Chains A and B, each alone.
Chain A
Amino acid sequence: MAVYKKTYRPYEGALTARWSRLLVIPRYAFEDLHRRKFLTTFFFASFLYPLVCAIIIYVQHNASALSLIGAQGAQHLISINVVFFLSLLGWQSMMALFLAAFVGPGQVSPDLANNALALYLARPFSRTEYVLGKMSVLLILLSLMTWVPGLLLFGLESYLEGWSWAVDHARIASGLFFGAWIWILLLALLALALSAWVKWRAAAGTLMFGVFFVASAFGAVINGIERTNWGHLFNISYLVGSVWVWLFEGGQPTTNGAIFFRAPRGETLPLWTSWVGLAALALVCFFMLARKIRGAEVIR
């Protein structure tokens, strides 16, 4: 089948390992994303906040730098504590939502729009591998935006403050890691599920914001009308925020969440309801994906 011969020839070369074929999907997706200049710019711009945080941590531990700018007492203005890292996670997670809304809808919908999914699944490639491959694009990008810079900053602070600080505040590191993973898994699932159901990319992206903002507004209306706090179950940022607080501080919280992910004081729900709410949302996403990610419709 050489180009100049124009004849068919069977393939007799080596095949790649079955597990490695999963990585083909993110590689192609990253090539596509790289061509979209806006997304590349947005992705790199999202590291501004962690960069500022890194400068703050560095300057706070560097007396000569502080005296150079004439701010000897400035280290007392900002404390490197739970609030500092929760704010970082909150801000980065909001950036992650925007990125997921831009990137996510383009993952599955082009494959479904013209029935290309059947060709993926006609190969030795399962539905699970397909979903994992597509999801890994978002998981990698969102990880780089959330827990990776968070843990790097935690490492920097530990290095400058001393390793005893790291041991004393190990819960912050685990909170950053697991808290970010809860958020990015939820975002990835929601983005893929919406992408699978809404073929128009722009509509799917808008719907992602809708799920977060309209649902929380709906919850606030329920709270207002019924004079209850249970409407917060529709508020995803509330659910995530309350879980984060527990992950960062355990049962004795000193804060009520992070920026954009705050639970209003006096309006708290039992923690288990937040876990159940998030699990229910994940299950709905799984169900939506399972309904749509099929090679062929089987009618019995």
Chain B
Amino acid sequence: MPENDSFIAGMSGVRFVRLMAELAGLPRSEALERAHEAFFYVGLGEVRYRALGTYSLGMKQAAKLAQAIAHGPKLLFLDEPTNGLDPPARLRMIQLIQEIRDHGDLHLIVSSHLLRDVEECCDEVLILKDGSIAAFCNLEEERRANRRFLEMETRGELNGNFVEAIRALGCETAPGAQGRLKVVLPDGLEIRRLYEIAAAQEVQIRRLNHRRDSLEDIFLKAMEAADGRL
């Protein structure tokens, strides 16, 4: 599914998808059947006999997705699939992609600069910079790692005993100013234990957050030049 417009203006939607399915190797009757199915699936069932040139931008995006899936490919490339879509259409497109990913026996490669879309659709992310791989990460692993990273704010000056006590549990700590503390939890340690130690040391935990290292942070880090500029 290319980023730009790709269609034959004078051809009806279903005929165009059928043509593409036949070129991909489907027999005539199968191609016709699946072209209709694909159009209904992407939500264009009612307009499938209209010429593609008369479609709106969102409809053209959906028609492109229909031609891409009609022949049931094993590998699907989607280049900026939500390009130019309004929020409801974007949501619908993301849902379709997720459904195809979850139900189909296919591998999906999404190319997009909209990182939120990528986060919602992909398991693994490859960030390219100047044609080279700048970063590769598994989003689920990143999320899991983030869950172990805590940012904590305690009342008043940090009590040295409290820090020592949580270090004794295997945590890595980095004290900051004004009672702030960054903590990396070891595997198997529940947060509840931190509260118990804090209570025993008479330290008030006023705020405790998981680090939210989004794909955007990963992207910015990957794009960062050696001198720290983007």
Query: What residues of chain A have their CB less than 8 Å away from a CB belonging to chain B?
Result: 1-3, 6-16, 18, 21, 24-25, 28, 110-111, 113-116, 118-120, 122-125
Tell me the minimal C-beta distance from A16 to chain B in angstroms.
5
Q: Hey, which chain B residues are within 8 Å of A15, CB to CB? A: 25-26
Contact indicator A6/B26 (Cβ below 8 Å): no
Contact indicator B37/A10 (Cβ below 8 Å): no
The answer to whether A114 and B6 touch (CB under 8 A), given A7-B99, A15-B25, is yes
In the complex, A192 Cα to B186 Cα: how many Å? Answer: 68
Given A8-B41, A13-B27, A15-B25: 11 more A-B contacts, CB < 8 Å: A1-B41, A3-B40, A7-B99, A8-B100, A11-B30, A13-B30, A28-B15, A115-B7, A116-B16, A118-B2, A119-B6
Can you list, as one digit per residue, whether each of B35-64 has a CB less than 8 Å from chain A (1) or not (0)?
Answer: 011101100010000001100000000000
Of B103-111, B146-154, B166-174, the segment with at least 4 beta carbons within 8 Å of chain A is B103-111
A-B CB contact pairs (8 Å), 13 listed:
A3-B45, A6-B41, A7-B41, A11-B71, A14-B27, A110-B9, A113-B9, A115-B4, A115-B6, A116-B6, A116-B8, A116-B16, A118-B2
Tell me the minimal C-beta distance from A294 to chain B in angstroms.
13
In the complex, A6 Cα to B20 Cα: how many Å? Answer: 20
In the complex, A25 Cα to B45 Cα: how many Å? Answer: 25
Can you list, as one digit per residue, whether each of B154-198 has a CB less than 8 Å from chain A (1) or not (0)?
Answer: 000000000000000000000000000000000000000000000
Contact indicator B36/A123 (Cβ below 8 Å): no
B4 — nearest CB in chain A belongs to which residue? A115
In this complex, which of B20, B24, B40 has the most chain A Cβ atoms within 10 angstroms of its Cβ?
A: B24
Q: Hey, which chain B residues are within 8 Å of A124, CB to CB? A: 24-25
Q: Hey, which chain B residues are within 8 Å of A21, CB to CB? A: 22-23, 25
Q: Hey, which chain A residues are within 8 Å of B71, CB to CB? A: 11, 123
In the complex, A18 Cα to B103 Cα: how many Å? Answer: 28
Tell me the minimal C-beta distance from A273 to chain B in angstroms.
42
Q: Hey, which chain B residues are within 8 Å of A111, CB to CB? A: 8
In the complex, A7 Cα to B34 Cα: how many Å? Answer: 12
In this complex, which of A13, A24, A110 has the most chain B Cβ atoms within 10 angstroms of its Cβ?
A: A24
In the complex, A135 Cα to B41 Cα: how many Å? Answer: 35
Contact indicator A119/B2 (Cβ below 8 Å): yes
In the complex, A116 Cα to B40 Cα: how many Å? Answer: 22
Contact indicator A120/B99 (Cβ below 8 Å): no
Contact indicator B72/A123 (Cβ below 8 Å): no
Q: Hey, which chain A residues are within 8 Å of B37, CB to CB? A: 1-3
B79 — nearest CB in chain A belongs to which residue? A118
Contact indicator B34/A1 (Cβ below 8 Å): yes
Partner of B104, one of A6, A10, A110, A119: A10
The 4 closest A-B pairs by CB, nearest first: A11-B72, A15-B25, A1-B37, A10-B72
A17 — nearest CB in chain B belongs to which residue? B25
B29 — nearest CB in chain A belongs to which residue? A13
Partner of B38, one of A1, A24, A116: A1
Contact indicator A125/B26 (Cβ below 8 Å): no
The answer to whether A118 and B41 touch (CB under 8 A), given A7-B103, A9-B72, A15-B26, is no
In the complex, A215 Cα to B20 Cα: how many Å? Answer: 39
The answer to whether A114 and B41 touch (CB under 8 A), given A7-B99, A8-B104, A13-B26, is no
In the complex, A118 Cα to B1 Cα: how many Å? Answer: 9
Q: B82 in the interface, Cβ–Cβ < 8 Å?
A: no
Partner of A116, one of B7, B36, B103: B7
In the complex, A12 Cα to B71 Cα: how many Å? Answer: 9
Partner of A118, one of B6, B11, B72: B6
Tell me the minimal C-beta distance from B51 to chain A in angstroms.
11
Q: Hey, which chain B residues are within 8 Å of A113, CB to CB? A: 9
Q: Hey, which chain B residues are within 8 Å of A1, CB to CB? A: 34, 37-38, 41, 69
B77 — nearest CB in chain A belongs to which residue? A122
Tell me the minimal C-beta distance from A124 to chain B in angstroms.
7
Contact indicator A3/B36 (Cβ below 8 Å): yes
Partner of A114, one of B8, B38, B72: B8
In the complex, A123 Cα to B72 Cα: how many Å? Answer: 12
B72 — nearest CB in chain A belongs to which residue? A11
Q: B5 in the interface, Cβ–Cβ < 8 Å?
A: yes
Contact indicator B41/A120 (Cβ below 8 Å): no
Contact indicator B19/A28 (Cβ below 8 Å): yes
In the complex, A185 Cα to B10 Cα: how many Å? Answer: 27
In the complex, A10 Cα to B10 Cα: how many Å? Answer: 29
In this complex, which of A8, A16, A18 has the most chain B Cβ atoms within 10 angstroms of its Cβ?
A: A8
